[in-house]
A and B are shown apart, each in its own frame.
Chain A
Amino acid sequence: MNNGFAIEAQNLKKSFGELQAVQGVSFRAEKGEILSLLGPNGAGKSTTISMLSGLLRPDDGDACIEGHSIRTDAREARAALGVVPQDIAIYPDLSARENLVFWGKMYGLRGTELKKRVDEVLEIIGLTDRQKGASGKFSGGMKRRLNIGIALLHKPQVVIMDEPTVGIDPQSRRNILDNVKELNAQGMTVLYTTHYMEEAQELSDHIAVMDHGQLIAYGTHDELIKLVGEQDRITVTTNVEPDGVIEAWRKIEGVHHANASRTDGTVALLADDSNLVLPHLFEEAARLHVRITSVDVQEPNLEAVFLHLTGRALRDE
């Protein structure tokens, strides 16, 4: 494999019984970039990063972290890696400092170096004042920050973050996203998994889109947008079941895609120019005695990319 990349995955496969969770995923992350793995729940993101971080052994394929194979040089690969698990993994009966000291030792830090790094990380995650309190009594946001801090203790070249913003308040989310940017600015490579396209859009240099265990798209944000031809995304809500009118809308010139959401009954359409298409949408609806109750128009984004590639919305799972 080319050792010039921070992360290089080749044909990773993992099955659990009959379920093929990851089906030959390959991607690369350049040193110092943020690569987001974007996909709905169950897409195989967590399984992929579990293989990269040494938790699961791939059935096939290999990956290198900073040039170290996860198969043949697993210990060095793990030493180069900091992992922020999706669920908070700290010892609640130990204080923030005690947690950091213990995990620092697990990464091989000792003595004054350990103490210095613990102090630095406490500062980074903003828990210096609360370092002696039992971490089990922290708020959710504070626990999340400690969860991230543990992965930073040994100054890893690569940090893997598995949906670190799930289930937290907007302020803590903002704080975490800023931390990720700051770490990246310091030269760390970040592999960030999320199902929030806004986060992927904001943070990423490259985005890998996964679905059903496969990598279905890879590129920069702009490259991915081009996949949908820079089409506008129109979301329409109707007063009745939209099945009849959808067929009519698909025939309108300039409409490339029309699909009803399974969860909220809205219709998602991709169109070259929403200004030209919208009047025709209303005409057809009126002709079929369907009343349009709301319309939302969005410039091309990752949601549209996912819809274009899979025919489903990212959050329809």
Chain B
Amino acid sequence: MKILDIAFKDIQRALRSTFGVVMMFIVPIMIPGIIYAAFGGALNGSADSGGFNLAVTRVVVVNLDRATDQSAGAILADFLQSKDLKTLLDTSTATDEAQARDRVNTKQADVAVIIPSDFSQAAFTNNGESNIVLYHDPTLTIGPLIVKQVLAQFADGFSGARITLNVAEQQLGALDATMAQNIARQYAQWAQAQGAQQQGGQHPLLAIQAPPSKATNQGTASMMASMTAGMLVFFAFYTAAVMAQSILKEEEDGTLPRLFTTPTARATILGGKFVAIFLMVGVQVLVVMIISSLLFKITWGAPLMVALSIVGLVICAAGFGLFLLSFIKTTRQAGPIIGGVLTVTSMLGGLY
């Protein structure tokens, strides 16, 4: 009974220390919380879950291509407005080049894509040449780069088509205009489809499937669980060592010698100290686990195994705390020694 009285008194004193409570319950949550806030998106990889949210680039496209049938300009304009690119580009159209440039100048759009009048002719014949004009706000970097990348991919498709036409002419002789356009169009469509797939991060010959949203969250939770568990172990040992410090404090305050003058066995006093550390660390671990589960959606695992792990951790921490304190003579020595030993052992244990 006296063991519990001593333990209760130590816990009562520990909980009256603001610094102690902060170090026991707030900091172990706060550190993973800060890491989560800083890198949670990177872990998630999803803008929806708070990750990096790349701004959508506002594009205005003006199609000046004169071709009416099989227009490469129209294909490009449609491609830029396709739903596959909605997460990257917000594309609108303009009737003429001046209007498109004006929208960029007045910051209604980030990038203007001006498709030249001879674009189809250049695309579908093997000796044509034409340039798409990219007009953008010079202060922007990422948005124009994305558009440039998309256009380059599209242009590569038509370059491939032209190479195909050359090869076809070499193999089959001179092609009539309709046949040449059909070959070029089919190749361009294939290249466009391929580009669209690659834009989504997927090669057409590889069946790569993105994990569903829930699985991504579980990955994040797992990462957070690892971090929180690391902090939990560190702070469990820290709390145990600080709680064990009460022996030194009581010796210096004269209350430990006074306890020895009461009809209380020394083993009971030491036992009380151990129980206090055990209970305090146990409560700390439970509180941190519950709060981290609520905040970071961490699933800690099967209750029985978790309970056994907690008991094991708490016993180790309490024993370590008392063992460490047995080498320390004064509370002035305790701070640096506890900090040093815990930091080194944590580094060796892979916490940092």
Interface residues of A (CB under 8 A from B): 53-55, 75-76, 78-79, 81, 83, 85, 87-94, 98, 102-103, 105-108, 150
| Chain B: minimal CB distance from A80 (Å) | 9
A91 and B258 contacting across the interface, CB-CB below 8 Å: no
A105 and B263 contacting across the interface, CB-CB below 8 Å: no
Which chain B residues lie closer than 8 Å to A98 at the CB level? 12
Which chain A residues lie closer than 8 Å to B258 at the CB level? 83, 85, 89, 150
List 10 additional A-B contacts (Cβ < 8 Å) besides A91-B9, A106-B263: A55-B261, A75-B263, A78-B263, A83-B258, A85-B257, A89-B255, A93-B13, A102-B9, A106-B5, A106-B264
Which chain B residues lie closer than 8 Å to A53 at the CB level? 261
| Chain B: minimal CB distance from A46 (Å) | 11
**B329 in contact (CB, < 8 A):** no
A69 to B121, CA, bound (A): 117
In the complex, the chain A residue whose C-beta lies closest to that of B14 is: A93
| Set A87, A88, A103: member contacting B262, Cβ < 8 A | A103
9 closest pairs, A vs B, by CB?
A89-B254, A79-B263, A89-B258, A106-B262, A83-B261, A53-B261, A105-B5, A78-B263, A87-B254
Which chain B residues lie closer than 8 Å to A85 at the CB level? 254, 257-258, 261
Give a binary string over B231-253; 1 marks a CB under 8 Å from any A CB, 0 the rest: 00000000000000000000001
Q: Offer 20 A-B interface pairs, CB within 8 angstroms, sorted by A.
A: A53-B261, A54-B260, A55-B257, A55-B260, A76-B263, A78-B261, A78-B262, A83-B258, A85-B254, A87-B254, A88-B254, A89-B253, A92-B253, A94-B12, A102-B5, A102-B9, A103-B262, A106-B259, A107-B262, A108-B263
Which chain A residues lie closer than 8 Å to B214 at the CB level? none
**B203 in contact (CB, < 8 A):** no
A98 to B17, CA, bound (A): 16
**B332 in contact (CB, < 8 A):** no
In the complex, the chain A residue whose C-beta lies closest to that of B5 is: A105
Known: A78-B261, A106-B2. A94 touches B9 (CB 8 A): yes
A108 to B253, CA, bound (A): 23
**B265 in contact (CB, < 8 A):** yes
A89 and B257 contacting across the interface, CB-CB below 8 Å: yes
In the complex, the chain A residue whose C-beta lies closest to that of B4 is: A105
Which chain B residues lie closer than 8 Å to A103 at the CB level? 262
A53 to B262, CA, bound (A): 9
| Docked complex: B1-44 residues within 8 A CB-CB of A | 1-2, 5, 9, 12-13, 16-17
